[in-house]
Chains A and B, each alone.
Chain A
């Protein structure tokens, strides 16, 4: 017969074996990267820590009470691993890049490295997991009692010790065990290869034990069919009524959330993952494991209900059935299997929770109250380990107290679901963290907090109903008698059974707040940065840089920090690697922003993202750099950028102004040189008559041997040259006025044809003198244009006299024609002279231009055409050189006809 003493001794021996396994597993994993401990098989088995004594004992009990409902707990994770493995892959990738250590760290990191959120999540996790720990304590206690209660002899040294004392002993033992196991060192990635090895081993043991019991039961019962047939014959029916009801869906949903958010599941699935590809194997292997685990649950439950005396605890069937059949060996194996399920859960859960507590609660407190890392001589590592050990004690104490207060409730499964509901509060935020860029810190914090409050009220509190009359009264009447606040019928909604009710309200409020607040709030800069790091994790080719200003931190300061947290060896390795990469001596290392970023992630692996950020901020800038300050710096930078853009604009304006000035200057220079040219031309034109006047005056002054006729001739020349000078000056003044835009006449309606006729009359003598024949072409009828008759006549005279003066043909011909075309009065003055050489056609209207053929005896100063053109222009017309009917030049005057 088995005795309690023997069973306890076996359990202690088993724990010793696990410890040895973990110890060597750790050494092996450290020495060789390719060890089988890094294999997908071990990874999958460690994920099987999901199957706790809830599964080993509770599922059987659950099946016995509620039929197939127990399956939902395994269907949820199956859905996640098979259907949503992309979600897990994303989670693993982000966590590796960001050195995420826990679900609290994940949310904190995603939502702007907020420590407050991490503290909230940690507290909720610690409180929420307490029932789950209590479940394990209860299961182990019950299993030992089941063995002990089987016979008088079995009690052994347990005589006089009640279940509370036993549970306390177990809790204490577990705490000690976990401390020894899980807090021997602090690792950057928080990976515990030794522990994982032990957990994997336990996974095999519990599966083998349950399978053994199952096969035994099927063997004894004569096969599946006969078991169910016999049960049916005894009036035992597996409850299938409630399948697919609200509770069914609730437990399914909760298990989906739990497989992602449970601290220990996050630890093994995400943190302990050493290779993303292991997820591929786990995506089918883990569901397969769960299938094997649940394969015999229903037969065991049914067989137990059939064979065991009424009132037996169905949770313990897996243990009590072999005992009842006198199979002590199998019973011991089953006990070890159940013990494995419980210990593996307790060890991993408390390690995961202790990491959260130490990283997110203890570490920030140390940072806040110590005057900085530098003054702390003992090293952060030691402090962290101490903090973790205390956390483990705290967590197991909470579990024990919960067990103590709720010890009267029988079933295991409902206790577990209370924890599941608590942990599920993280799920909406986790999903939002991974996929929704706009999810904000405030929203996540408010959503989780609100969900937690509802959980406490609707799920946690009611679990004390059996031990507290106050709670019972509260459940029945609501606080202060307000019935719509009754915990299990919030807002008068009592159509659901309690679990579904609690899950419905807490998660609905959670999701609602998360969505609405996210849409209403604007995330901070750091949140946005982290959001894109998370959401775009598969888009980014590189690890994002840390968001530190390159400050005054020396490599020495940083090393000091790193050494305290990571330990001497790892810190040195990190710095040596960086020095090697940048090709400098380790003593000369200049910390680059990317290196500080990497350092932050390494530290985050040990103390969480928020703490690492704060700690490095202190070192890098010598004081705290708050995000506000960062934003201020960024804002100033923005100002500088704006200012420099303005400067650039101003300098562009200056450049353009300078260009304009330069252009104006060039124009002035051009005008200046035109003025020089003009003066030079004028002086030339003036000197010519002056020369004659002076010379002849001197001749006359000499007074001797000049006859009267000659004298008369000389005086007349002097007179003519004086007139020429006068005319020249008049023309210059005239042109100058015209060029300034002045007009010493008024534009009035005049008869243009009359002006042309008058010009011909004036030139009649000149024409006759040169023997020039005038050819009258087509003439227009009297036409009214706007202008000045005298000035227009002057233009015609100028054109006619030019035609006369420059014509050297033997039989000179002048051809005059006028017409009205398209509203224009057009006059052509053509001759059969030499014409204007091609090269001079543009110059002909310039001042002092006489053309090559022009000689001094032709009289004018070369201002005539320039003046004429100016006059016509001032009458809003044009004067051009055109191709005429005669071989010589043809000038065309064009004026608008008045109507």
Chain B
């Protein structure tokens, strides 16, 4: 069955925390730890949305986002950008590339869940 959320994050502890809070919110999760794997997984798993870290090994989050927006199959995929820097410049670049939402590290768990819910269009649903 198709999964709800694909997480692309290379910090193991952060990945673990995201996995935990999003599963607890009731979504099915899959995770990758580098940019190439993220693109591959997006095509293969066809998740409903992508939680994408900017600083990824092998292929940066921005590059992954650009590829996703460039392909017809994946163009409509909602993407939530995680950035440790949280800087205006990163945010602007991500917006231009077509990111749908942003969460800044260190994040509040509720913010992540809220943002994911919004992108998945599940505002009415309760976990």
Contact = CB atoms under 8 A, between A and B. Distances in A.
Interface of A: 680, 683-684, 687-696, 698-699, 717, 720-721, 852-857
A684 B57 contact: no
A690 B106 contact: yes
Contacts of A857: 10-12, 33
Interface in B1-36: 10-14, 16-18, 20-21, 33-34
A318 B10 CA distance: 141
Contact of B11 (A683, A692, A699, A854): A692
B62 to A, nearest CB: 15
B21 A695 contact: yes
Nearest to B109: A698
Contacts of A720: 13
A682 to B, nearest CB: 11
Interface in B46-90: 55, 57-58, 84-87
Given A688-B14, A717-B16, A855-B34, A694 B87 contact: no
Given A680-B87, A687-B84, A692 B57 contact: no
Given A690-B106, A691-B84, 10 more contacts: A688-B84, A688-B105, A691-B11, A692-B13, A692-B14, A692-B17, A695-B17, A699-B17, A852-B58, A856-B12
A856 B17 contact: no
A855 B84 contact: no
B109 A855 contact: no
Contact of A690 (B12, B105, B109, B110): B105
**Most chain B C-beta atoms within 10 Å of own C-beta, residue among A688, A692, A699, A856:** A856
A696 B85 CA distance: 20
Contacts of A856: 10-12, 57
Contacts of A696: 13, 17
Nearest to B89: A680
A856 B33 CA distance: 9
A698 B24 CA distance: 13
B18 to A, nearest CB: 8
A853 B58 CA distance: 7
A856 B54 CA distance: 13
A795 B99 CA distance: 43
A694 B107 contact: yes
Contact of B85 (A683, A693, A699, A853): A683
B10 A691 contact: no
Contacts of B110: 698
A688 to B, nearest CB: 5
Given A680-B85, A721-B13, A855-B33, A699 B21 contact: yes
Contact of B57 (A691, A694, A695, A854): A854
A691 B84 CA distance: 8
**Most chain B C-beta atoms within 10 Å of own C-beta, residue among A684, A691, A852:** A691
Contacts of A688: 11, 14, 84, 105
**Most chain A C-beta atoms within 10 Å of own C-beta, residue among B13, B84, B107, B109:** B13
A687 B83 CA distance: 10
A208 to B, nearest CB: 119
B20 A699 contact: yes
17 contacts: A680-B85, A680-B87, A684-B85, A687-B84, A687-B86, A687-B106, A688-B11, A688-B14, A688-B84, A690-B106, A691-B11, A691-B105, A692-B14, A694-B106, A694-B107, A854-B57, A857-B10
A717 B13 contact: yes
A695 B109 contact: yes
B92 to A, nearest CB: 15
A899 B58 CA distance: 49
Contacts of B55: 684
B81 to A, nearest CB: 14
Contacts of A699: 17, 20-21, 109
B14 A691 contact: yes
Contacts of B33: 855, 857
Nearest to A683: B85
Return the 7 tightest CB-CB contacts between A and B, nearest first.
A695-B17, A692-B13, A691-B106, A691-B105, A694-B106, A856-B10, A856-B11
A888 B113 CA distance: 43
Nearest to B10: A856
A851 to B, nearest CB: 10
A690 to B, nearest CB: 5
A227 B127 CA distance: 167
B84 A695 contact: no
Contacts of B85: 680, 683-684, 687
Contacts of B84: 683-684, 687-688, 691
B64 to A, nearest CB: 15
A694 B11 CA distance: 14
Contacts of A689: 13
B114 to A, nearest CB: 13
Given A680-B85, A853-B57, A691 B107 contact: yes
A695 B10 contact: no
